[in-house]
Amino acid sequence: MENRTITPVILCGGSGTRLWPKSRRMLPKQLLNLTGEQTMLQQTLERVRCYSKPIVVCNEDHRFMVAQQAREIGFDDLTIIIEPVGRNTAPAIAFAALTALQDDGDTNLLVLPADHLLDDVEQFHDAVDRGLQTSSEGGLVTFGIVPTAPETGYGYIQKAGGDAENIKRIAQFVEKPDLATAQSYLHDGSYYWNAGMFLFGAKALMSELVTHSPAIAATSENAVKNAVVESDFVRLQKSDVENIPEDSIDYAVMEKTKVGYVIPLDCGWSDVGSWSSLWEALEKDEEGNVALGDVILEDCKNSLVFGEDHLVAAVGVDDLVIVDTKNATLVAPKGRAQEVKAIVSKLKVAGRNEHELHREVVRPWGKYDSIGSGPRFQVKRITVNPGASLSLQMHHHRAEHWVVVSGTAIVEREGKETMLSENESVYIPIGTKHRLKNPGILPIELIEVQSGSYLGEDDIVRFDDKYGRS
C-alpha cells in the first residue's frame, strides 16, 4: 500500500436555518457552541488533530471567525479556502483536492462537515483506519451511519454484498424516504444513513470528477489556478467560481463511480439539523428537559429551552422548543421544529434582517452590540480586540460619538491621531475620515452613539482596511 498522509477537509459552509434564531446566516450553527464549550467547528477540528494540517472551506463572511476559532484551540497552521459564492459540495471538495495537490502532492482527503456531532471519536478513527487501504488504492470511501430509527430526514446508502467484512461496495444512493420505506430500510439491514463524510485520494477524486462531471473539474481547476494566496487564506475569484456548475459530491461523483465503497460507522452521530435533533443529542434532566443558559422550569417535560441573554422561565409545558435570543424568540412544538425554515423565508421576503444577523455582530476586529435605537439615533457597545483596528472610513449620513469604557484607544481623524483612555470621548462629524485602533494587549470597550438621517451599516466608505474588505 502506498504510504500517504491524511489531510482533513472541513466543509464549513451552510447557514443552518433550521436552528434559527440561534443560527443565522452571518453566524451559522458550525460556529456556535451548541453542544459544549467548544463550537461545532472546533469539535470537528479536535476530532482530526491527529492527522495532517487541515483544509477548511468556508465563505467570505465567515473567514475571520473560522481563523479565530481555530487559533483559540491551537490550530495556527491550517489552510482556509474562501468561496466567494457557494456552489455545493462537489466544487468545494475539488478546491481542497486541487489545493492539496499543489501543496503536498497526493494525499488521502478525509472530508467532514463542520457541524456534525460524534460521541465516540475512537470508533470514528478506527473506521478511518479501515478505509485507508481502499482509499490509497484508488477507491472512494464514504462512511455510512448505522441507523437507529426509521429516519425520513436523511438520504441512505445501500451496501452491496460479497466484499470484505468491514467495507462494502456501494450498491446505490437513495433519496430521503417516506416513513414506510425508512422502516423497510431499517429492517433490511443493508442501508445506512448518508452523513456526507468521505475518504479518498486527491488524485483519485479529481480523476473521477473529470470522468463523471468534467465541467466541474475544469472550472474548479481554473478557479484554484487563479486563486490569490493571502497568508493562510486561499481566496478564489468570484468570476471564476460563478462559472462552476453547482452540484453535490453525491450527484457529481459518488452515485456514478464504479469504485465507491461504504464503511459502517456506529459512533453516536448526529447532524444536529434541528432543535429536536439537538434535544435528542444532549443530556436531559429527569423530566426529559434540556435547559441551556439562564433557564428555570416548573412542571415541564421533554422540552428544550434556551436562554441567551436573560432569564427564561416556563411552567407546565410539554414537548416544546423555546429559544430566546437578544432580538428574536422561537416557540414551537418539538415535533414541528424543522418548520422554522418557513419563518426564515418569511423574514427574507419581508426584508427583515433577523434571519441574517444577531443583535451582537462579530467583525474581524471584534464585535458590536446594538443596545438601543430610535428615530435618528443608535447606541452600540463596541469591543475592539488587542492589536486590531477598524477600517479608515467615513459616513455620509451619520455622526458618531465614542466614549471609552475600558482600555486605551488610538483615534485617527483626518490623518491626526489622538490617544483616548477610560472615561474619555471623541466626536466624529459627518464626512470625517476616521479610524479606531487598539494598540494594547487588552480589549477596548467603548460606547458609540450614532446620530443622523440614515444609520444603516451600508453607509460606510472604506479607504483602507487591513482585512481586505471592499
Whole-number pLDDT of residue 380: 96
Residue 166 has a pLDDT of 77
| Predicted confidence (pLDDT) per residue in 43-62, tens digit | 999 999 999 999 999 998 89
Q: Which amino acid is at 204?
A: A
Mean per-residue pLDDT, 357-382? 93
6-270 CATH fold: Spore Coat Polysaccharide Biosynthesis Protein SpsA; Chain A (3.90.550)
Q: Residue 309: what pLDDT?
A: 85
Over residues 251-282, the pLDDT tens digits come to: 999 999 999 999 999 999 999 999 999 999 99
Question: What gap in Å lies between CA 267 and CA 423, rounded to an integer?
Answer: 54
Q: How far apart are CA 117 and CA 440, in angstroms?
A: 38
| 304-339 pLDDT per residue, tens | 999 988 999 999 999 999 999 999 999 999 999 989
Q: What is the pLDDT of residues 175-215, one digit of tens each?
A: 999 999 999 999 999 999 999 999 999 999 999 999 999 99
Q: Please, where in the chain does CATH 3.90.550.10 lie?
A: 6-270
Residue 3 has pLDDT above 90, yes or no: no
pLDDT of residue 437: 97
Nearest-angstrom CA–CA distance, 85 and 351: 21
d(CA 196, CA 145) in angstroms, rounded, equals 10
**Delimiting residues of CATH 2.60.120.10 domain(s) in the chain:** 360-464
CATH number of 360-464: 2.60.120.10
In whole angstroms, what is the distance from residue 379 CA to residue 377 CA? 7
**pLDDT at residue 138, as a whole number:** 96
Mean pLDDT of the chain: 94
Kindly state the greatest CA–CA separation across the chain. Answer: 76
Q: What is the DSSP letter of 175?
A: P
**Residue 4 pLDDT:** 62
Q: How far apart are CA 401 and CA 382, in angstroms?
A: 12
C-alpha cell at 91: 466544487
What's residue 165's pLDDT? 60
